[in-house]
Chains A and B, each alone.
Chain A
Amino acid sequence: AQRVTQPEKLLSVFKGAPVELKCNYSYSGSPELFWYVQYSRQRLQLLLRHISRESIKGFTADLNKGETSFHLKKPFAQEEDSAMYYCALQTGANNLFFGTGTRLTVIP
């Protein structure tokens, strides 16, 4: 069965420090992975998807099939990055499974 694991519920880093939000998945097929972000009192927004291989707001994520991971990274955290981050695995057009989320706090 498919599963998405985000081991850290809370993560705090200082402004300017590197940040890594961990995501591991379990899926026997070819995974399609996403990161969604939810800023305070706002709706969930798509941050990035692995097949795009793009960098959004300085964040990147690389799919590592060997380690079944899709960790989200940013070299220098900013205060505006404080938010809830969800890793999600899509196994079909209408099957999107979310992790439990990591709340990132960037300390000034």
Chain B
Amino acid sequence: NAGVTQTPKFRVLKTGQSMTLLCAQDMNHEYMYWYRQDPGMGLRLIHYSVGEGTTAKGEVPDGYNVSRLKKQNFLLGLESAAPSQTSVYFCASSTANYGYTFGSGTRLTVV
């Protein structure tokens, strides 16, 4: 049982490049989330999904897009990366009645 798996684990992008982060969960959770973790700011919610085919904006959605075409996958896209998007990105999933299960994170550096 892998839980929540994120790929890639590390990535370096040049300003203006695009990329997609993949999150996969095998727990049949309805809800999935993307957070970014920055020093001194904790975790901030970027986007989330309450079910297949649905997405919604979180606290810091600008510069990101997401898609949830399959229940088990939640993709986070950066269309034109900026240095301000250098961060550690965490995916999580949950049911309605229990705490979140997190992935191991993706460390993204934009130069």
The interface of chain A, by Cβ under 8 A from chain B, is 6, 9, 34, 36, 42-46, 49, 86, 93-94, 96-101
Contact = CB atoms under 8 A, between A and B. Distances in A.
B100 A96 contact: yes
Interface residues of B, number: 24
Contacts, number: 48
Contacts of A98: 35, 42-44
Going nearest first, the 9 A-B pairs with the smallest beta carbon separation are A46-B99, A100-B42, A93-B96, A44-B102, A98-B43, A98-B42, A43-B104, A43-B102, A94-B31
Given A86-B42, A98-B42, A101-B42, A46 B100 contact: yes
A39 B4 CA distance: 17
Contacts of A46: 99-101
Q: Is the interface of B mostly helix, strand, loop or mixed?
A: strand
Nearest to B49: A94
Contacts of B22: none
Given A93-B31, A93-B50, A99 B42 contact: yes
A94 B50 contact: yes
Contacts of A99: 42
Interface in B40-67: 40-45, 48, 50, 56
Contact of B40 (A93, A96, A100): A100
A44 B100 CA distance: 9
Contacts of B50: 93-94
Contact of A94 (B33, B90, B105): B33
B95 to A, nearest CB: 8
Contacts of A44: 43, 90, 92, 100, 102
Given A43-B105, A93-B31, A93-B50, A34 B99 contact: yes
